[in-house]
Structure 1
């Protein structure tokens, strides 16, 4: 409690000693925040000389993967939406088979491979780890680099290792065929002193490029298979699927709304009580004559007393604060009285619901950018422009659409695995397919069914 006294020790004005506001003004424009990641001309790349390699910078300061991962990590719906896409794309794993033909509906007739070594490989932790980490970088930053690890003799491939996107960069094309290398280092925030250079397989025909490297005896050092989406027209790194939602500002809004609500609930000045105290009260409660030798003791006694009164009137977490004033004459009858007047005050703050609607709209816009129907994640809004039916049929249909849209991403994910099998002598007719769990209605007698794709 902070009390203002006059020269005679009479309290004049009182205020709570609890801070009402804790607001930090961010003076950085939103455009400047967006520039941190990519320059406006996204087709232009700066170069970093590493040994004999001219490495193409990945975003401004060459730190896009690190900063993009931080944005995803700190944005609830973006982190959850990308994790959903990763799990959906992986399905329930893969299996090896041969395509024996097609039925009258155009569906493939699949025959399982009876080679235990192949089936053991596709269901192994190596493949599961490869798929999980490759999708992580593909979805978060738009590009992933898969190292095909050879044996000591360099005549076969024994493993797949997804290089963390924070550690690899690509060089500029060195010839008309677009030949590139992948430089791996753990210190891209500085000038790398320790690094490894691996050949990057050509996008046009990675299979023929790998065979050429084997013919030239360069398979021993391994090679890198890039996994990226060409939609952005950036042939080097690509862009993540969520990037348009960030540029448009929806990711910023998704951050700002909870920050605002947190500060509002923590620091809003919700005046709950108006307490009016007559001046004559202090003369009887703490007579000035009792403290004539030390007026400061009277002030301390009044402070302690008012702190106790305030604590009795505060709400949970000090959110509902009283305001204290003094008066000398009753305004109704002109008489001097000593009664305290405690009047409840109405709370005029009502912006919470509007902010929640804004937050829900930002969440929906981010999920739209990911091509995820918000209803699948239970994010449908009860009314307005983003209203949607969250019934079972709507969720099932949205889930099926997501699976259909994941086809191209799944094929991009399978390409390094197909090359792995090819380089190890597995026949070309051996194909890889996904297992899916499909939601069904209760009238089918089961909650789910399993399909192959």
Structure 2
């Protein structure tokens, strides 16, 4: 007879004969807000009105020159030099001390699971959608977590809340949400409740893989969080930024570029050709063509640059004024003068503000002022940005911390924790020559610190 398993916290038990998970004692997880059903018949919660919100967002990002590259920059800045692990302790003054070390089992896990790939994929989904879907896979005997990966956020949909406890217990994964079909819900993975005793509950369960939900909280959202940068679309600045290049493209493609408007008095022809009025139409066109071709050659071409042109005029005795036969009027070319540059620059500024990135870090926004800022501006802006990324780092590393507890590393090494390697930019006069030669960031380099 197999042994009944009870966790150390005495909150969860597993009955092997009946294959039952038992919760012992009072439910100590936070109360889950239960969203009232509104008549939907789907087993999954729709992401957006058409259930294609992430797909639609991705297409709109791809059509913008700022949003996609800036979100990618934020993901790379969070990743920085990758991760390291070690033990956290405190000295006699209460100041934190982080001591990295090497463990063969942990190194094997990082290598086999390709944790570094998980980090950049999860960071990308975090900044795009504020929703990340890490998948955790257990060994055959369920004693260890052997793999972690980030499921593509656009392919994931949460099951509707359990009406009894308000928990979301399944995640459906499908690459064809835009196609109706009976296989919509064939591929589902159970979901870990991250709020209380998550390790104990998984050890008392029977599944071999789980989704560990990661999201950045935004007010009023039950299933899917909404990234703050989405205000770009709601406010209308995305449409403004989109309309300007579309307008300019159409202008360049369809406008006849005209630099001059030439007015020729009708008296010119009759005065130059005395028999003008009696000439047939074809002859008049021939004479006009010759005259205009000669004028056109005079007004164009590199060889004629800077040359002068002479036109004749007549004096009107009746009105006492000179009347020119030819009048040449330059046309104000709006394309050449930079039409809508200010509007484009304003739209770009709003987009970068919504993305929470100082324009000096990635270069000035499009417009007349193309300066990228000084080196000191970039350094200070970058250091300030990095110092505010800890909460994002903790979210991405939370599933790895779960794994550390599940696999026993946190018990083996008290204070065990994961950290991102973070570069802190300094001026050369504050960095020793030996540090300047360091090209690979590591835990011993004081210019790189854990988050």
TM-score (norm 1): 0.71
- 1:81 correspondence with 2:79: no
The CA deviation string for residues 232-258 of structure 1, in whole angstroms up to 9 with x for no partner, is 331211001311222112222221222
- SS of 2:218 mapped into structure 1: helix
2:192 to 201, 207, 211: 201
1:272 maps to which of 237, 246, 259? 259
Query: After superposition, what is the alpha-carbon deviation per residue over 1:195-228, rounded to whole angstroms, capped at 9, x for unaligned?
Result: 31111122423xx34532332322x2x1101111
Where 1:92 maps in the other structure, the secondary structure is: coil
Please name the residue that 2:355 is paired with.
370
Distance 1:399 1:274 in 2: 53
Deviation at 1:380, TM superposition (A): 6.3
Deviation at 1:351, TM superposition (A): 9.0
CA distance in 1, matches of 2:290, 2:219: 66
Structure 2 residues without counterparts, runs of 5 or longer: 1-34, 303-311, 318-323, 437-445
* Structure-2 change in CA distance of 1:310 and 1:425 (3 Å): farther
RMSD between aligned alpha carbons?
A: 4.2
CA contact (8 A) 1:201 1:225 kept: yes
CA distance in 2, matches of 1:265, 1:191: 42
Displacement of 1:263 in angstroms is 3.2
Distance 2:368 2:377 in 1: 16
- C-alpha change, 1:242 and 1:177, in structure 2 (3 Å) is same
Among 395, 398, 408, which residue is 1:412 paired with?
395
Q: Helix, strand or coil: the match of 1:114?
A: coil
Give the count of matched residue pairs. 383
1:117 has 2:105 as partner: yes
Q: Distance in 1 between matches of 2:161 and 2:104?
A: 41
Give the CA deviation at 1:184.
Answer: 1.1
TM-fit CA distance, 1:346: 3.7
Secondary structure of residue in 1 paired with 2:195: coil
Return the offset for 1:259.
Answer: 2.3
Q: How far off is 1:127 after superposition?
A: 1.1
Q: 2:82 aligns with which of 84, 93, 97?
A: 93
Aligned pair partner of 1:227 in 207, 211, 214: 214
Q: Distance in 1 between matches of 2:287 and 2:401?
A: 83
> For residue 442 of structure 2, what is the aligned residue in structure 1?
none
| In structure 2, distance between residues paired with 1:152 and 1:117 | 17
Residue range with higher mean Cα deviation, 160-169 or 408-417: 160-169
Taking the aligned partners of 1:210 and 1:297, their CA distance within structure 2 comes to 97
Instruction: Specify the alignment match of 2:123 in structure 1.
Output: 135
Matched, 1:358 2:343: yes
How far apart are the structure 1 equivalents of 2:297 and 2:118?
59
Question: Any idea what the Cα deviations from partners look like across 1:255-302, whole Å, max 9, x if unmatched?
Answer: 122223333444445531234565569989x9999xx9xx99998998
Q: Residue 69 of structure 1 contacts residue 141 of structure 1 at CA under 8 Å; is this kept in 2?
A: no
Moved more, 128-137 or 267-276: 267-276
Match for 1:62 among 38, 51, 54? 51
Alpha-carbon distance, 1:161 to partner: 2.2
Q: 1:432 aligns with which of 418, 434, 439?
A: 418
Deviates more, 1:111-120 or 1:301-310: 301-310
Distance in 2 separating the partners of 1:213 and 1:442:
50
What's the secondary structure of 1:118's corresponding residue? helix
Give SS of 1:62's match: coil
In the superposition, the TM-score normalised over structure 2's length comes to: 0.71
Instruction: Provide the rounded CA distance (Å) in 2 between the counterparts of 1:186 and 1:269.
Output: 46
How far apart in 2 are the matches of 1:440 and 1:237? 39
